[in-house]
Amino acid sequence: MFSLKGLLPDRKRTVGLDIGSSSIKLVEILDASEGYLLNNFSQVPLEKGIIVEGSVVDANALSERIRGLFKISGCKTKRVVTSLSGHKVISKKATFPTLEADDLRQLINDEAGNYLPFDDVKDVSFDFQILGESEGNPGQMDVVLVAAKKDIVQNYVDAIQKAGLKAVIMDVDSFALETMYETNYDFEEHDVVVLVNIGASITNINVVKGGQSIFTRDVSMGGQSITDSIQEKLSVPFEEAERIKIEAAKENAHPGSGSQVNPLDFAEPLFMEIERSIDYFRSTHGGEYIKELILSGGSAKIGGIVETLTQRLSIDTQIVNPFQNIAYNKKIFDPVTIEDIGPVAALGIGLALRRVDDL
């Protein structure tokens, strides 16, 4: 598991804060005697322009929305786990001599230019995960490196602090989804699974083998690109296009309401990017057999998307179920609500599962 360094860990309770470009989601998971328990899930919309391409543009507006989210949720926890995504985060797999973690960190610091595409490592927050011995390089080990400019990280930390909270872990979207997957799904050592999260403006693709990431890519398009295409095609305002997309998605899932728009017709560019990513993975990893694709994010609820991806990719595709091994407070949630929020809560659940003890 990952955390971008520079944030002070402690052992007190945390809450997951999924900050997207169109909404903010709060997830609180308690450590109960029987296991994990969902105790809080709340979300508020985020106006366009506050978060752009993974960067905070309007920190004051973001702080206000975060403060409002905590108010309506009633959550009293002040320590949050959040994440970054998009091209502001660099993630790469590299091979190193077999070293202890502290020695590896020092090596990366000393020779950062060989591993990270930044001019000065002092401007960068980075972390890594040792995957184990490299199959093709005896005496070497495979490592996943994650890095982001410190000012990008600090802008999120400052906005959270202005809201009266404290960011204790900064994760990465793709790896938060991996945490959710590890907690809720059974897998064998050689099982290869693709985790695809379609956010509003960014789609995260993470291929995991035996529960460990072996390939990641963030695509700079998502559900909003579908809305934009509907807006352009039908010449309607963005808000109307979004309404049409949502209503048409419901119609696809429940035929009979009379909608004449199929959102899948406007999702071709996104499908092509997902397809290209899978093809590239297959070409660079020896054509590994992919067991399944697990789909999350708001657009995962568009009727017909599972069948479309299954056919196009020749991979069994399913909607994520992040509550297979997580119970929920039955005084707050009912089964219908839990099923409905699953796809949009998946990333936040991965964040909420993080504990400062992981660092």
DSSP per-residue string spanning 308-326: HHHHHHTS-EEE--TTSSE
Rounded to an integer, what distance in angstroms lies between the CA atom of residue 179 and that of residue 251?
33
Cα-based angle 141, 171, 150 (whole degrees, multiple of 5)? 95
Residue 297 belongs to a domain: yes
Mean pLDDT of the chain: 89
Rounded to an integer, what distance in angstroms lies between the CA atom of residue 220 and that of residue 150?
21
Residue 202 belongs to a domain: yes
DSSP per-residue string spanning 263-287: GGGG-HHHHHHHHHHHHHHHHHTTT
324, amino acid identity: Q
Residue 244 belongs to a domain: yes
> What CATH number is associated with residue 261?
3.30.420.40
Question: Average of pLDDT values for 235-260?
Answer: 70
Q: Of 53-57, 64-68, 186-190, which has the strongest mean pLDDT?
A: 64-68
Checking if the pLDDT of 212 tops 90, the result is no
Burial class of residue 246, CB neighbours in 10 A (0-12, 13-18, 19+):
middle
Residue 120 belongs to a domain: no
In degrees and rounded to multiples of 5, residue 48 shows phi and psi of -60, 140
Evaluate whether 273 touches 219 at the Cβ level (below 8 Å).
yes
For the stretch 130-178, pLDDT in tens is: 888 887 788 899 888 888 888 999 999 999 999 999 999 999 999 999 9
User: Who's near 116: CB < 8 A, 6+ residues apart?
Assistant: 90, 108, 124, 126, 145, 147
Going by pLDDT thresholds of 50, 70 and 90, the confidence category of residue 116 is confident
Checking if the pLDDT of 257 tops 50, the result is no
If one counts the domains in the chain, the total is 1
Rounded to an integer, what distance in angstroms lies between the CA atom of residue 69 and that of residue 47?
14
Residue 39 belongs to a domain: no
Residue 203 belongs to domain spanning: 186-320
Residue 29 belongs to a domain: no
Residue 18 belongs to a domain: no
Rounded to an integer, what distance in angstroms lies between the CA atom of residue 345 and that of residue 302?
16
SS3 content of the chain, % helix, strand, coil (to 5): 40, 30, 30
Question: Average of pLDDT values for 251-257?
Answer: 51
Residue 180 belongs to a domain: no
